[in-house]
Amino acid sequence: MREAVASALAELARRDERAADMARSALDTLAPGQELERLNQHAVQRFCWFELPVRFQNSTDEQLFAARALGSLFSLLQLYRYAQICSSPETTTLLTVYAEDHAAGLAMYERLMWESGVEPPDLPELTWGTAVGDAEIRARRETASALELAILLGDVRPGKRGWRPAQERFTRSFLTQPDNRGLSHLDRIREERVRAWLSSSAHPHRQRLWPLVGQIIAGSDVPRAAESAMAPLQRLLDLAADGIALTQIGYISPSVVRQMCEDFGWRTSPAPPRSETDATQLIALHQTLRGMRAVRRAGRRLVLTRRGRQLREDPEALWQAATESLCRTGGLEQAAAETLLGMLLARSPQGTGSHARRDESDVEAAERTLTESGWVPVEPPVTAGRHAASHRRTAEAASDQVRALVMAVSWLLEALGLLDEDDGAGHRELTPTGRTFAIACLHRSAVAPRAVV
């Protein structure tokens, strides 16, 4: 192949030495080592429509000359479709747009890539990331090549009616096809993401989750008991469909609070509850629906959003939304959820033990783990007078915040019936459905794409 490239460059140099130099430079960027067998339509489009105008700060005329020179080289190599991209009106227009308005150029680039059909689409089970590892880079490149072939064979027809669902079906089939080791591209991407997630230096609390790595990679299917577990959330969605009356400061009305507690057998203090603040289970459910953007406040009523109406009609989607929202909040709130879920899974029959001390409650153990991981200072610096007292108050406030976030996760698990009874010392175990829920939460957090390393 390199001999063919050398011959084509020599022929181009005989015609136009400057064009040959420009084509050689462009090809070195596009296909290092002149490995044309790894070249595909997606890469050529990305070079002409993104890398050339964004990374090479030449004039528009120089960029157009580079694109046309590369097109001439492709023609000599009989790669006519790739040559056509280089000299197409779309490329000429796009490079001109970039020169006038960079943001408009980027928007046009994204549109043209999508319309071409070779840009691998996001799927419910996989959103492509920007900070990626080798497995994801390889999977995306090979998916783009497979889509290019599917378009040539007419299996995917960009611009025709129904082409996007066809593209998604083809992509899903390609990504889930196992290799000779029984692993698909999707499997490898998930494993790569989970291991990077566990190894994150910014989240040292995850080091304690390594014994669960196999379960986190595998994830879990929606269980048969999902509808039963989601019943409290479903009830709130049903009530919000007609509008739930709110108090002046935004709490759910006492009558609804009492009815929910009675229907689901929640213990409260005092009993019966006087307001939402007396029913920790309802506080957790209300916060969860808000986090899922399933409900919103409209005056003095809590009503469904469009997403809420969709979730209300689909218990399986409601389960998936709940597992996704718990560990995708970011910061300390997410760390608290990951730590408590990991601790409970380690204690469960499918786990490997627990890092909790028997003289600590679950909340205390999770709080200690987060503290030891650096989320809050273990011991404030001791200085004289008012400064020492100020440091103590700061540490106590931080500790209270951690404890409150851990307790909120525990309240949600309790409200959904995912925890067994307290053993009297503040220790609880996940039910079988609770283990499935916890694994799904950690899996969704771990395999989510990251925009930064």
User: Is the link from the previous residue into 272 a cis peptide, with omega within 30 of 0?
Assistant: yes
The secondary element (H helix, E strand) that includes residue 394 is: helix 385-415
Contact 14, 73 (CB under 8 A): no
pLDDT tier at 355 (50, 70, 90 boundaries)? low
Dist CA 439 CA 441 (whole Å)? 5
- Own/partner long-range contacts of 72-80 (Cβ < 8 Å, ≥24 apart): 72/12, 72/15, 72/16, 72/19, 72/23, 73/5, 73/8, 73/9, 73/12, 73/20, 73/23, 73/27, 74/44, 76/8, 76/11, 76/12, 77/4, 77/5, 77/8, 77/36, 79/36, 79/39
State mean pLDDT over 238-248. Answer: 95
Contact 85, 101 (CB under 8 A): no
What digits encode the pLDDT tens for the residues 426-451? 788 999 999 999 999 999 999 999 75
Averaged pLDDT score across all residues of the chain = 90
Task: Report pTM.
Answer: 0.86
How far from chain centre, in Å, is Cα 39?
Answer: 29
- CB-based contacts of 17: which residues, under 8 Å, 6+ apart? none
Could you give the 3-state DSSP secondary structure of residue 430?
strand
User: Is the link from the previous residue into 270 a cis peptide, with omega within 30 of 0?
Assistant: yes
- Residue (of 411, 428, 280, 439) closest to 362 by Cα position: 428
What digits encode the pLDDT tens for the residues 179-198? 999 999 999 999 999 999 99
The secondary element (H helix, E strand) that includes residue 297 is: strand 295-298
What digits encode the pLDDT tens for the residues 92-147? 999 999 999 999 999 999 999 999 999 999 999 999 998 889 999 999 999 999 99
Alpha-carbon torsion 208, 211, 214, 220, what sign? negative
Point out which residues pair with 302 in neighbouring strands.
244, 297
CA dihedral in degrees (410, 414, 420, 421; nearest 10)? 90
CATH code of the domain occupying 226-319: 1.10.10.10
Specify the DSSP class assigned to residue 263: H
| Domain residue spans of the chain | 2-116, 134-198, 226-319, 332-447
The secondary element (H helix, E strand) that includes residue 398 is: helix 385-415
In a 13 Å sphere around the CA of 362, the CA atoms on its Cβ side amount to: 31
Strands (E), 255-294: none
What tokens were used for 25? 């430079």
Q: Is the pLDDT score of 305 beyond 70?
A: yes
Contact 206, 200 (CB under 8 A): yes
